Amino acid sequence: MEIHSEVEIHSINLSNDLKKIIICLNDKRIEIWNIDTFTLIKEIKMTVSLIENVLLTSDNKYLIFSDENNTVNLWDYDQNLKLQYNLPLKLIRHKNEITTIKEVPDHKKIITGSEDNAVNIWDLSGKLLYSLNGHYAGITAIAVSPNGDLLISGSDDYDIRIWETKTGKLLKTLEEHEFSINHIKISPSGSLFISGSKEKLIVRDLKTKKIIKKIENLSEPIKTFSITPDDKYLLGAYQNHIICYNLKTFELESMEKLKSEIFFLDLNYNGKYLIIGVENNTINKIEFLKWLEVHKLSSKSFLSDMHIPFRAYKGKNPYIFVCYAHKDKELVYDEMRWIKSKDFRIWYDEGIPPTTEWPEEIERAIKNCTLFLVFITPNAVGRENVRNEINYALKKGKKLLVVFLETTELKFGLELRLSLKQAILKYELNREIYLEKLLETLNSIF
C-alpha cells in the first residue's frame, strides 16, 4: 500500500505511539495518517512555511514542531488550535537552529537539541528545567529510553553522551565514532541502543554501555534505522537500499534495492509494518515479515560493497591509486578513510577478489593516476597481483609512495625495485607523527 502526494513531501515522522504517520508538505499542511488502516485522520493547515522536527506526543494530546524562525510550536492536537504560548528561540535560550525535538514519556517534558551545542529539557509551559552542556559541536541526534530515565545525545563532535533526565546529570561519554553522529535509536525493550555515523554502526547494551557489536566499513552511511520490538532485527536504509541485520548473529539477512532514494524508514508499534518514504513523494507500507522472507539473501558474498569505506574515484582530476593485499583490507581501509577525509581522491579496487587475469580497469587506473600508493605488509609482498601493480607503476614512471604498515622483508625483487623510493615506516612512528608525515608527503605531490 502507498500514499502518493502531488505536493512535495518535506518530512515524514511517526507519532510517539508509532501508530500514525505525520507528513509535512511544502504547501504548509500537515497530514496525519492511521498506519493500520492507511487512512487520513486529520489535515492541519499551518501559517509557517517550514515545519521541522515534528512529533505527536504518545498521549495524542499535543503536536510539537519547530519552524523557520527557530521557534518551538505547541498545538492542541484534538482541538486543532494553537495554544496561547509560542516558544521563540531567544526565550528558550537556544542560540541557533533547533535540530531535534523529543518527548519524555511522562507527557510533561520535551527535549530540544540545537546547533548551539546544547540539549535542553523543558516542561510544557516553556519553563527550562535543565540545560545539558558538554558537547563541543551541534547536536545531531537524541533518543530517550522507554521509561524516560535516560537521554542519549549525539553531536558533530563525534561523541555520544548519556544523561539522567530527572536531574540533568551526565552519566557517561562514549567516544568510539570518528565522524558526526547521524542517528541514535534505543530498542523498544530498552535493552539496546544503536548509534550511527558515516563509517559505522555501534550496538551497545543500554545498561552496561558496553559495545556488543560494531558494523564497520560501510560504503555509504546508514542515515535512518529502526529496531523490531523483539530486538531481533535492525532495519536501515542507505541511498535506495533497504537492509536488515539479524541482531543475534549480526549477519546481513535481507536486502532490497528500490528505484528511488529512501529518506525515511521506521517500524510501527508492533513491528508488523515497515514504513518507507522515497524521494518521489511516495510513502509505502510493507508487511515486514513478508518482506524479510521475500528479500532474504541466499549468499552474502556479493554484499562486500556494503562494507567498503567509499566508492572509488572515477574522473579526470588528479587521484591516488592505492595498492594493497586484500587480507590487509581492515588496516588499509582505515588509512584510506583518513586520506580521503583530507580531500584527496582515491581509486582502489573496491574489494574485487584478485584473479589470474589482471583486469584492464586496474591497468587504466594506474596509467592515469598521479600517485601510486602501496601499503606494504608480509601479506602484500606475498601477493602476485600486488607485485604486478608495483611493476607496472614503475614501468609507467609513476610517482611511488611506499607505506610500511608492519615490519616486512622485501622479497621477489621488491627490495631492489623499492629501495630508492620514498617510504614511510608507520610501525616505527606514533600515530600523530605518522599522519603528519603522510599528509606532508601527499601535499608535496598534489
Helix (H) or strand (E) holding 178: none
Res 424 pLDDT > 60: yes
Angular region, 207: left φ>0, alpha ψ -120 to 50, beta rest: alpha
Pair (239, 330) in one structural domain? no
Task: Give the position of cell 532490497.
Answer: 256
Q: Within a 13 Å sphere around the CA of 168, how many CA atoms are in the beta-carbon half?
A: 14
Average pLDDT of 23-30? 87
Grouping H, G, I as helix, E, B as strand and the rest as coil, residue 370 is coil
d(CA 311, CA 102): 35
Q: Mark which of 304, 338, 362 sits at the end of a domain.
A: 304
Pair (145, 115) in one structural domain? yes
Q: Could you tell me which of 58, 62, 152 has the C-alpha nearest to residue 100?
A: 152
Average pLDDT of 138-152? 94
Helix (H) or strand (E) holding 383: none
Q: Mark which of 304, 332, 352 sits at the end of a domain.
A: 304
Pair (135, 261) in one structural domain? yes
Pair (57, 76) in one structural domain? yes
Q: How many helices (H) and strands (E) does the chain have?
A: 7, 34
Pair (19, 151) in one structural domain? yes
When pLDDT is cut at 50, 70 and 90, the band that residue 250 belongs to is: confident
Pair (366, 393) in one structural domain? yes
As given in the structure block, the three cell numbers for residue 136 are 563541543
pLDDT tens-digit map of 341-351:
888 999 998 74
Q: Is the pTM of this model over 0.75?
A: no
Sign of CA pseudo-dihedral 170, 176, 181, 186: negative
d(CA 289, CA 295): 10
Q: Which domain holds residue 363?
A: 311-445
Pair (234, 318) in one structural domain? no
d(CA 224, CA 199): 14
Q: What phi, psi does 414 have (nearest 5°)? A: -70, -30
Pair (212, 300) in one structural domain? yes
As given in the structure block, the three cell numbers for residue 325 are 593485499
Q: 211 vs 108, 236, 420, CA distance in Å?
A: 32, 19, 45
pLDDT tens-digit map of 168-208:
999 999 988 888 999 999 999 999 999 998 878 999 999 99
Pair (191, 42) in one structural domain? yes
Q: What angle do CA 195, 308, 161 make, to 5 degrees?
A: 15
**Tell me, what's the pLDDT at 164?**
94
Average pLDDT of 35-55? 84
d(CA 325, CA 380): 5
Domains in the chain, number: 2
DSSP code for 188: T
pLDDT tens-digit map of 109-123:
899 998 889 899 988
d(CA 147, CA 189): 10
Pair (297, 318) in one structural domain? no
Q: Mark which of 304, 321, 342 sits at the end of a domain.
A: 304
Pair (297, 363) in one structural domain? no
* DSSP states along 71-108: EEEEEETTTTEE-S--EETTTTT--S-EEEEEEETTTT
The CATH number linked to 229 is 2.130.10.10
The CATH number linked to 367 is 3.40.50.10140
**Tell me, what's the pLDDT at 172?**
94
Amino acid at 258: L
Q: Is the Cβ–Cβ distance between 274 and 286 less than 8 Å?
A: yes
Pair (176, 95) in one structural domain? yes
As given in the structure block, the three cell numbers for residue 395 are 614501468
As given in the structure block, the three cell numbers for residue 115 are 546547533
Q: What b/e sequence results for 407-426 when a residue is b if at least 16 CB atoms lie within 10 Å of its CB, and e otherwise?
A: ebeeeeebeeebeeeebbbb
Q: What angle do CA 154, 163, 217 make, to 5 degrees?
A: 30
Q: Which range, 24-28, 86-90, 134-138, 298-302, is most confident? A: 134-138
When pLDDT is cut at 50, 70 and 90, the band that residue 336 belongs to is: very high
d(CA 18, CA 21): 8
Burial of 349 (0-12, 13-18, 19+ CB in 10 A): buried
Q: Is the Cβ–Cβ distance between 85 and 124 less than 8 Å?
A: no
